[in-house]
Amino acid sequence: MEYKILVADDEKEIRELLRLYLENSGYQVLEAEDGQQALDILRSEKIDLCLLDIMMPKVDGYRVLQELRKESNIPVMILSAKDADSEKILGLNLGADDYMAKPFNPLEAIARVNSNIRRFYSLGTSPVTETIKVKDLEIDVDSCELRRNGELIDLTSVEYKIMELFMKHPGKVFTKQQIYEYGWGEDFIVADNNIMVCISKLRDKLDEDPSAYIKTIRGLGYRLER
């Protein structure tokens, strides 16, 4: 299967560089030079992953991400010259799956694209038709959907993977390293705020009570209550 990637960036040189590397890796590439064009493409084409710049004309990347998350949970990688922790946390809170600061190594960018595609679309695995139930939560492994009392909960790809991990092993305590490596599909090297942000967002989506489903086990990690 040929996956379709949207590269949304107002810098032509970056779009052309990413197109070269992505096409050499077997991806089909579409380009957008401003936020409005990105939204138009996302609404008219079946995009499998979006590489999204923040500072773009007409509509900025954060607004594009907000609008996209109303309709789709495809992987989104932010590419931005803003590398402050506050900017990264904002992007992740709005629903991004990954964040790379400019300038970046194009080989690393492709590796991250591959990781997000593999994680979200489960490359190399056999078709699974499995439903897992814990309390009033139900996860459909085949369609990658989570429901609470039958109502669909909108999740990013990373949030889905973390909930899949928890629901396959309710009551089991997972360390931050285990959660990161399963959710992000990368080796865990240092403590990362991404985990706390993601857990916080999941709690908000599941219930008003922060510990109703996901409980913090001090000094150890997190577990899903049975």
Domains of the chain from N-terminus onward? 4-121 (3.40.50.2300), 131-224 (1.10.10.10)
- Calculate what percentage of the chain has a pLDDT beyond 90: 44
Which pLDDT band, with edges at 50, 70 and 90, does 122 fall under?
Answer: low
What's phi and psi for 210, nearest 5 deg? -55, -30
Report percent pLDDT > 70 for the chain.
92
Helix (H) or strand (E) holding 38: helix 35-44
Is the pLDDT at 123 greater than 60? The verdict is no
Q: What angle in degrees, to the nearest 10, is found between the helix axes of 176-184 and 193-206?
A: 80
Of the segments 4-18, 85-99, 164-178, which one has the largest average pLDDT value?
4-18
Res 71: pLDDT: 84
H/E element holding 183?
helix 176-184
Q: State which amino acid sits at residue 55.
A: M
Which residues have CB under 8 Å from 196's CB, separation 6+? none
Of 61-70, 104-113, 120-129, 133-142, the range with the lowest mean pLDDT is: 120-129
pLDDT mean over 160-188: 87
What band does 194 get if pLDDT is binned at 50, 70 and 90? confident
Asked if the model's pLDDT at residue 15 lies above 90, the reply is: yes
- Give the model confidence (pLDDT) of 136-165 as tens digits: 899 887 778 899 988 899 988 889 999 999
Look up residue 129 and give its amino acid: T
Condensed to tens digits (0 to 9), the pLDDT of residues 197-220 reads 889 999 999 887 767 899 999 888
Whether the per-residue pLDDT at 126 is higher than 50: the answer is no
pLDDT score at 84: 66
- The mean-pLDDT minimum among 9-23, 60-74, 160-174, 201-215 falls in 201-215
Spatial separation of the C-alpha atoms in residues 187 and 8, rounded to whole Å: 27
Task: Give SS3 for 49.
Answer: strand
Please write the tens of the pLDDT for every residue from 73-117.
899 999 888 766 777 788 788 888 888 888 889 999 999 999 888
Look-up: residue for tokens 């990781």? 115
Cα gap 224→215, rounded to integer Å: 6
- C-alpha to C-alpha distance for 114 and 110, rounded to whole angstroms: 6
pLDDT band at 190 (very low <50, low <70, confident <90, very high): low
pLDDT value at 56 more than 50: yes
